[in-house]
């Protein structure tokens, strides 16, 4: 069953949409491909790991964090988010060394099956381009390879290391001659290329595990965790009392950069309690002299506004007796309304409503 899943995923693809109906129909070509890949996977002798590689199920830092098995999703070498693509494209020197070895291995496998040098060169250049920049521009290459490049781009160049090679590459050289001079079909060199890419990916994963569990990686992860806790405390700076500003570093990033993991852990342990206490006191002090906003909604009895003699005489000049009476009344109401106490003084930025 495992072998079937591996070969189902790892067989040389007929189309970018991963059509599997040819495999289930059991055409002669795909049966041969299936057999060859079964032998290849048998040679690797890592069935469970190959199944995980082909199905993108490797426990990367991002996957482990998503499943709550660890609290960081960072690459132990460079600090970027570790996805399966990042493992392949990480620019740490150890990964660059792996990159050169992987390309060399693919070239070797293609030469072993007498694949044309131009095809091997174009293929390896495309893989190098993708590993270096993340994209492959077909316009850089001869028009002969455009179809294969576009097809592989549609499938995904990352998928190449998971056993998914476009069939278009094989159409570039449908036959080759083996050492004895026999004519052999292209799927044999295709299967060999898939085997080489899978073996390289497995070697990379093993290297990654060594890096992730090395003492240096543990120190790096410990510093990441301590830096995270330090930044969290630093964000409370504006909520703490001003007199406690000495509890915080002037520039948190410089402080993290220049401190060891132990120094950061010590800072967090020694200051965490004091900072939280300061925030609590600042909050209490901000609200204790503030009146409750409920008072603002209570009915306010204010004396009617006294009309000034000057204004009264003005009204006499402008209005007649009847209309003056109404106007005074409406004016008094509006003045009463404006005497509602101002909202300022009832509220504080730190008041819990
Ligand atoms: Zn990295």
- Token pair belonging to 339: 């005497």
Q: Mean pLDDT for the chain?
A: 79
**What confidence score (pLDDT) does residue 283 get?**
87
Q: What is the mean pLDDT of each run of 10 residues along the chain (353 residues)?
A: 42 41 44 59 80 89 89 85 93 92 93 91 94 93 93 93 88 85 84 90 92 80 86 91 89 90 91 93 80 68 58 56 55 53 64 50
CA of 134 to the centre of ligand 1 (A): 14
CA of 347 to the centre of ligand 1 (A): 50
CA of 227 to the centre of ligand 1 (A): 18
- pLDDT tens digit sequence for 117-150: 999 999 999 999 999 999 999 999 999 999 999 9
CA of 95 to the centre of ligand 1 (A): 8
- Neighbouring CB atoms inside 10 A of 170's CB total 23
Residue 43 CA neighbour count, 13 Å, CB half: 13
CA of 89 to the centre of ligand 1 (A): 8
**What confidence score (pLDDT) does residue 91 get?**
92
- pLDDT tens digit sequence for 147-174: 999 999 999 999 999 888 888 998 898 8
């Amino acid at each position: 069953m495992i072998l079937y899943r591996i070969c189902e995923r790892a067989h040389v693809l007929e189309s970018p949409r991963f059509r599997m109906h040819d495999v289930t129909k059991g055409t002669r070509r795909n049966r041969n491909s299936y057999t060859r890949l079964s032998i290849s996977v048998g040679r690797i002798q890592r069935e469970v790991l190959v199944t995980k590689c082909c199905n993108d199920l490797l426990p990367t830092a991002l996957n482990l964090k998503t499943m709550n098995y660890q609290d960081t999703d960072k690459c132990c070498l460079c600090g970027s988010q570790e996805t399966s693509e990042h493992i392949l494209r990480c620019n740490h020197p150890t990964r660059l060394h792996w990159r050169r070895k992987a390309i060399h291995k693919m070239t070797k496998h293609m030469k072993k099956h007498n694949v044309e040098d131009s095809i091997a060169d174009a293929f390896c250049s495309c893989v190098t381009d993708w590993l270096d920049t993340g994209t492959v521009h077909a316009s850089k290459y001869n028009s002969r390879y455009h179809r294969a490049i576009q097809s592989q781009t549609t499938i995904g160049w990352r998928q190449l290391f998971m056993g998914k090679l476009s069939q278009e590459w094989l159409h570039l050289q449908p036959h080759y001659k083996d050492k004895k001079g026999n004519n052999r079909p292209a799927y044999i060199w295709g299967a060999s290329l898939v085997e080489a890419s899978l073996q390289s990916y497995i070697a990379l994963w093993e290297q990654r595990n060594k890096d992730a569990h090395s003492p240096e990686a543990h120190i790096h992860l410990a510093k990441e965790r301590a830096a995270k806790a330090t930044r969290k405390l630093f964000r409370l700076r504006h909520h703490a009392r001003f007199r406690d500003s000495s509890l915080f570093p002037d520039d948190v990033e410089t402080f993290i950069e220049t401190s060891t993991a132990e120094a950061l852990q010590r800072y967090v342990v020694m200051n965490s309690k004091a900072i939280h206490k300061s925030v609590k006191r600042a909050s209490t002090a901000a609200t204790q002299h503030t009146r409750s906003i409920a008072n603002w909604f209570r009915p306010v009895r204010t004396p009617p506004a006294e009309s000034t003699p000057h204004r009264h005489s003005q009204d006499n000049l402008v209005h007649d007796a009847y209309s003056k009476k109404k106007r005074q009344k409406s004016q008094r109401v509006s003045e009463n309304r404006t005497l509602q106490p101002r909202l300022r003084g009832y509220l504080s930025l730190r008041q819990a409503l």
